[in-house]
Homo-oligomer: A and B are copies of this chain.
Amino acid sequence: MSGIKVAVIGGGSSYTPELIDGFIKRAAELPAAEICLVDIPAGEEKLRIVSQLARRMVAAAGLNIRVTATLDRRQALQGAGFVVTQLRVGGLAARAQDERFPLKYGVLGQETTGPGGLAKALRTIPVMLDICRDISELCPEAWLINFTNPAGLITETVLEYTRVKCIGLCNVPIHLKMTIAKLLDADAGDIFIDFAGLNHLVWGRKVWCKGQDVTDAVLAKLQDGAALSMKNVPDLKWDKDFLNSLGMVPCPYHRYYYMTDTILAEELAAAAPDGAGTRAEIVQEVEKRLFDRYQEPELTHKPAELEKRGGAYYSDAAVSLISAIYNDKREIHTVNTVNNGTIAGLPADCVIEANCVVGRTGARPLTIGELPPEIAGLIQHVKAYERLAIEAGVSGSRHKALQALANHPLVPSAGVAKLLLDELLTINAEYLPQFAL
């Protein structure tokens, strides 16, 4: 058997066909011998459905990739060259909770930032550290591609507390690039965006098309109504004056910071008894239909419905990243990696999201330097939150968790932070062993 083994943790995810699709498309350059999908008992049914679809996809493509499925993580990791983490501790039920509980206190509910994001981080950290212990033992040379949100924070945890080689991946940057290419009616390959920031808090400081600065044109398009949104984020219009004063391209998730009040109002309406439900609740419906579709035996490719799920370009982002590493391509990907002086005013050992040259030795960011105050302060504030969240997640310190919340720009006061924390710890208790003592 030649070719690499890829272990996919959270293999039962509805995104897996995306990933499989990516491996199929890149089979020529990236010889995968085995893709091992691993999940937990609660995901067994999804794992079964997804792995069968995956096998049909591979077969239809006439490829010789073994798709295996297991509940035994250690077996999955044995001999892996790449590990992809796309798990969700607590599943969509926990996400729905993350989206709802802050609303009670007048704070928006979101799965990757704010109190909801902290809950997800605290649930995920112990699991990720466990996985890393296994990797260190079973496949210490493997690259961990972390897709699990909050992706930057989780990647920082891995890089700070373990020796696992890890790159954090998010589809926001590639999504922005693709959207902007469409807006400009340009080829994506001709677009270069000077990304700088953190995961889900990344700005395009400049946009270049064939080396021409087209930032203003992009901002003008955005003001003209182009949404620049993503499936997981409410599609609110950007204010013209605000965009002009910013002079940079925000990412879809910036709405949570710049349109906090409007989003909160929308969320409250959606969460009301007569509302449409939170995003997680909607996704649960989408998923149900998606898995029904996945089970159709004649389905042998990734179905169009998957796009509604929110992981657009995940396949491109993830598999081209793996290929860049495997083939030592030294090409530019926008990923999460250690700052190391790239952005001035952030700790050297924190994780940022930036344009990186990726090759077999990992991701090396392109120097950025001082950020303008328009974005520097918010990034630094959120990074401080992230560092407190990581400390809390690793140590189980209630103090650090409280400070994390009190330092989050979306939390209006220390008093509210305390209420949020109490509820967070209570309703997530089963997933927070580190706080149990």
Within 8 A of B (CB), among A346-396: 346-348, 357, 359-361, 364-370, 373-374, 376-378, 380-385, 387-388, 391
* 23 residue pairs bridging A and B, Cβ less than 8 Å apart: A190-B328, A192-B330, A211-B328, A212-B360, A239-B414, A242-B415, A245-B400, A245-B403, A258-B406, A259-B415, A261-B412, A262-B413, A340-B369, A342-B367, A344-B348, A357-B366, A373-B384, A373-B387, A377-B380, A378-B384, A380-B380, A380-B381, A412-B412
CB distance from A151 to the nearest CB of B (A): 19
Complex: chain B residue closest to A325, CB-CB: B211
CB <8 Å contact, B261 and A413: yes
Interface centre among A190, A346, A377, A409 (most CB of B within 10 A): A377
Q: How far is the CB of A361 from chain B (nearest CB, A)?
A: 6
Chain B residues with CB under 8 A of A213: 361
Please report A residues at the B interface, Cβ cutoff 8 Å: 190, 192, 206, 208, 210-213, 239, 241-242, 244-247, 258-262, 328, 330, 332, 340-348, 357, 359-361, 364-370, 373-374, 376-378, 380-385, 387-388, 391, 398-400, 402-403, 406-407, 409, 412-418
Which B residues are in CB contact (< 8 Å) with A260?
Answer: 412-413
- How far, in angstroms, from A377 to B344 measured CA to CA in the complex? 14
A367 touches B365 (CB 8 A): yes
Assembled-state Cα–Cα distance A365/B415 (Å): 34
Once the chains bind, are B378 and A407 in contact (CB under 8 Å)? yes
Question: Does the CB pair A262–B415 fall under 8 Å?
Answer: yes
Instruction: Give chain B residues whose Cβ lies under 8 Å from the Cβ of A407.
Output: 373-374, 377-378
CA distance A262 to B367 in the complex (A): 39
Distance of A201 Cα from B296 Cα, bound (Å):
61
Also in contact, A374 and B388, with CB within 8 A (given A244-B399, A414-B242): yes
Quick check: A328 and B210 within 8 Å, CB to CB? Answer: yes
Shortest C-beta distance, A352 to chain B (Å), equals: 10
Closest 7 CB pairs of A and B: A211-B360, A377-B384, A380-B380, A245-B399, A377-B381, A211-B328, A381-B381
Within the assembled complex, what's the spacing in Å between the Cα atoms of A419 and B259?
13
Chain B residues closer than 8 Å to A361, beta-carbon distance: 192, 206, 208, 211, 213
Q: How far is the CB of A207 from chain B (nearest CB, A)?
A: 11
Residues of chain B within 8 A (CB-CB) of A258 are 406, 413-414
* Nearest CB of B to A351, in Å: 13
Residue of B nearest to A345 (CB): B345
CA distance A330 to B359 in the complex (A): 15
A366 touches B364 (CB 8 A): yes
Cross-chain contact A367 with B384 (CB below 8 angstroms): no
Q: A239-B418, A376-B384 are in contact. List 8 more A-B contacts (CB 8 A).
A: A206-B361, A239-B414, A244-B399, A258-B413, A341-B369, A364-B367, A374-B388, A376-B380
Query: Is A409 within 8 A of B406, CB to CB?
Result: no
Name the contact of A380 in the complex, choosing from B206, B242, B345, B348 (C-beta under 8 A). Answer: B345
Expressed in whole angstroms, the Cα–Cα distance for A413 and B368 within the complex equals 27
Report A251 CB to chain B, min CB distance, Å.
Answer: 14
In the complex, chain B residues whose CB is within 8 Å of the CB of A374: 384, 388, 403, 407
Q: How far is the CB of A241 from chain B (nearest CB, A)?
A: 6
